[in-house]
Chains A and B, each alone.
Chain A
Amino acid sequence: DGGITQSPKYLFRKEGQNVTLSCEQNLNHDAMYWYRQDPGQGLRLIYYSQIVNDFQKGDIAEGYSVSREKKESFPLTVTSAQKNPTAFYLCASSRRENTGELFFGEGSRLTVL
């Protein structure tokens, strides 16, 4: 079945460690996105990519990094520079047109101890 797969679903890390969250899609979508969600709040855009080998910062990019070497993959690294990394992270993809429906993964919950 076509869709977006995020892994791992749950992740625990110590302070100061970098963490990479995986996002893979088989929908042949050009655009991919990473969002952060804190308890009781909406989604905030971290990074997005409209095409392979190109990506742009969203509203809260500090302390995060991404790569887009393949169309189907858009991994997010939460670096030690991110002051408060504990959150629910969501990956999404869409066609590039503004009518494109966003397809979301099931999310990755990161807890920093």
Chain B
Amino acid sequence: DAKTTQPNSMESNEEEPVHLPCNHSTISGTDYIHWYRQLPSQGPEYVIHGLTSNVNNRMASLAIAEDRKSSTLILHRATLRDAAVYYCICQNTNAGKSTFGDGTTLTVKP
């Protein structure tokens, strides 16, 4: 699996957009980029995933660099409920496993 690098923490104001970056410079051609988030004492939940093109869903948008070595999770209007640890992982079917780093702790200020 490709190793991912994320900032330890980020802050945002409520109702403002948030851009969470992730570097994955060793990503392979078959790796999908997935994002998950985790609230305290809970299991992570899926947010979004993509391969090459930018993706949108009801929770967030995923912008993937043209060379695929980095990606950005975009929360269009942060709410207090978005405060969580966000994980970026590269998922490869051949490896059959997923490895999580330490993620980014997002704090949302009212």
What is A's interface to B at a CB cutoff of 8 Å? 4, 31, 33, 35, 41-45, 48, 50, 56, 58-59, 88, 90, 92, 96-107, 109
Q: A97-B93, A102-B34 are in contact. Are A42 and B102 (CB under 8 A)?
A: yes
Instruction: Kindly state the separation between the CA atoms of A93 and B68 in the bound complex, as whole angstroms.
Output: 26
B101–A42 CB distance below 8 A = yes
B98–A33 CB distance below 8 A = yes
Interface centre among B36, B49, B92, B93 (most CB of A within 10 A): B93
B96–A31 CB distance below 8 A = yes
A58–B31 CB distance below 8 A = no
User: What A residues does B92 contact at CB under 8 A?
Assistant: 98
Chain B, interface SS category: loop
User: What B residues does A105 contact at CB under 8 A?
Assistant: 43
Could you give 10 example pairs across A and B, Cβ below 8 Å?
A42-B103, A44-B99, A50-B96, A59-B99, A88-B41, A98-B30, A98-B32, A98-B93, A104-B45, A105-B43
Instruction: Kindly state the separation between the CA atoms of A56 and B96 in the bound complex, as whole angstroms.
Output: 10
List 5 tightest A-B contacts by C-beta distance, closest first.
Answer: A104-B43, A98-B93, A43-B100, A42-B102, A101-B46
Contact of A104 among B31, B44, B102, B103 (CB under 8 A): B44
User: What A residues does B102 contact at CB under 8 A?
Assistant: 41-42
Known: A92-B98, A98-B32. 8 other contacts (CB 8 A): A42-B100, A44-B100, A58-B97, A92-B43, A96-B96, A98-B30, A98-B31, A102-B36
A102–B87 CB distance below 8 A = no
Interface centre among A31, A92, A101 (most CB of B within 10 A): A101
Contact of B87 among A42, A92, A99 (CB under 8 A): A42
